[in-house]
Structure 1
Amino acid sequence: MEIIKDLPEVFEEFAEQRKNSFLAVKQLKDKGVPVVGAYCTYFPQEIAMAMGAATVGLCSTSDETIAEAEKELPKNLCPLIKSSYGFAKTDKCPFFYFSDVVVGETTCDGKKKMYEYMAEFKDVFLMELPNTQSEEALKLWKSEVIRFKEYLEKKFDVTITEEDIRGAVKTNNEVRNSLKRLYEVMKHDPAPIQGQDLFKVLYGSTFKFDRKAIPAEVTALVEKIEKEYAEGKMLEKKPRILVSGCPVGGATEKVVRAIEDNGGVVVTYENCNGAKSIDKLVDEENPDIYDALARRYLNIGCSVMTPNPNRLELLGRLIDEYQVDGVVEMTLQACHTYNVESLSIRRFVNEKKGIPYINVETDYSQADIGQLNTRIAAFIEML
Structure 2
Amino acid sequence: MEIIKELPEVFEEFSEQRRNSFLSVKEIKESGTPVIGAYCTYFPQEVAMAAGAAPIGLCSMSDEAIPEAEKDLPANLCPLIKASYGFAKSDKCPYFHFSDVVVGETTCDGKKKMYELMSDFKELYLMNLPNSQDEEGRKLWRAEVVKFIKYLEEKFGVEITEDKLRDAARLKNRERDAQRKISEVMIHDPAPITGENLFNAVYGSTFKFDKEELIGSLNALTNRIEDEYNHGNMLDKRSRILITGCPMGSGTMKVVNAIENNGGVVVCYENCSGYKNFDRLVDAEADDIIGAIADRYLKIGCSVMTPNENRYELLGRLIDQYNVDGVIDMSLTACLTYNIESKSIGKFVTEEKGIPYLSVETDYSKADVGQLNTRITAFLEML
Where on the TM-score scale, by shorter chain, does this alignment land: which range? over 0.9
SS at the partner of 1:324? Answer: coil
Q: Deviations over 1:93-142 (max 9, x none)?
A: 00000000000000000000000111111010000000000111101100
Q: Could you say which residue in structure 2 is the equivalent of 1:10?
A: 10
Q: Could you say which residue in structure 2 is the equivalent of 1:46?
A: 46
Q: Could you say which residue in structure 2 is the equivalent of 1:281?
A: 281
Q: Is the 8 A contact 2:255 2:372 kept in 1?
A: yes
5+ unaligned residues in a row in structure 1: which ranges?
Answer: none
Q: Could you say which residue in structure 1 is the equivalent of 2:29?
A: 29
**Offset at residue 158 of structure 1 (A):** 1.1
Q: Determine whether 1:96 maps to 2:124.
A: no
**Offset at residue 285 of structure 1 (A):** 2.3
Q: Determine whether 1:59 maps to 2:62.
A: no
Query: What one-letter code is carried by the residue in structure 1 that aligns with 2:333?
Result: Q
Percent identity (aligned): 66
5+ unaligned residues in a row in structure 2: which ranges?
Answer: none
Q: Determine whether 1:300 maps to 2:300.
A: yes
Q: Deviations over 1:180-199 (max 9, x none)?
A: 11101100000000000000
Q: Deviations over 1:135-187 (max 9, x none)?
A: 11101100101111110110111111111111110000000011111101100
Q: Is the 8 A contact 2:187 2:267 kept in 1?
A: yes
Q: Could you say which residue in structure 1 is the equivalent of 2:184?
A: 184
Query: What one-letter code is carried by the residue in structure 2 that aligns with 1:200?
Result: N
Query: What one-letter code is carried by the residue in structure 2 that aligns with 1:15?
Result: S
Query: What one-letter code is carried by the residue in structure 1 that aligns with 2:49?
Result: M
**Offset at residue 212 of structure 1 (A):** 2.2
Matches within 5 A, 1:124-273: 124-273=124-273
Distance 2:29 2:69 in 1: 27
Query: What one-letter code is carried by the residue in structure 2 that aligns with 1:299?
Result: K
Distance 2:53 2:347 in 1: 43
**Offset at residue 5 of structure 1 (A):** 9.4
**Offset at residue 7 of structure 1 (A):** 1.2
**Offset at residue 328 of structure 1 (A):** 0.6
SS at the partner of 2:16? Answer: helix
**Offset at residue 261 of structure 1 (A):** 0.4
Distance 2:5 2:266 in 1: 24
**Offset at residue 6 of structure 1 (A):** 2.4
Query: What one-letter code is carried by the residue in structure 2 that aligns with 1:108?
Result: C
Distance 1:280 1:221 in 2: 22
CA RMSD of aligned residues (A): 1.0
SS at the partner of 1:367? Answer: coil
Distance 1:31 1:189 in 2: 46
SS at the partner of 1:251? Answer: helix
Distance 1:209 1:192 in 2: 28
Q: Is the 8 A contact 2:342 2:359 kept in 1?
A: yes
Distance 1:362 1:177 in 2: 31
Query: What one-letter code is carried by the residue in structure 2 that aligns with 1:199?
Result: F
Distance 1:357 1:190 in 2: 21
Q: Could you say which residue in structure 2 is the equivalent of 1:340?
A: 340
Taking a change above 3 Å as real, the CA distance of residues 212 and 93 of structure 1, as seen in their structure-2 partners, is: same
Q: Could you say which residue in structure 1 is the equivalent of 2:71?
A: 71
Q: Determine whether 1:322 maps to 2:311.
A: no
Query: What one-letter code is carried by the residue in structure 2 that aligns with 1:46?
Result: E
Q: Determine whether 1:119 maps to 2:119.
A: yes
Distance 2:68 2:218 in 1: 38
Distance 1:293 1:233 in 2: 40
Q: Is the 8 A contact 2:166 2:285 kept in 1?
A: no
**Offset at residue 32 of structure 1 (A):** 1.1
SS at the partner of 1:52? Answer: coil
Distance 1:63 1:8 in 2: 26
Q: Deviations over 1:16-65 (max 9, x none)?
A: 00000001001111111100000000000000011111111000011111
Query: What one-letter code is carried by the residue in structure 2 that aligns with 1:260?
Result: E
Query: What one-letter code is carried by the residue in structure 2 that aligns with 1:360?
Result: V
After the TM superposition, which parts of structure 1 deviate over 4 Å for at least 4 consecutive aligned residues? none
Distance 1:169 1:285 in 2: 9
SS at the partner of 1:207? Answer: coil
Q: Is the 8 A contact 2:79 2:363 kept in 1?
A: yes
Query: What one-letter code is carried by the residue in structure 1 that aligns with 2:64?
Result: E
Distance 2:165 2:5 in 1: 35
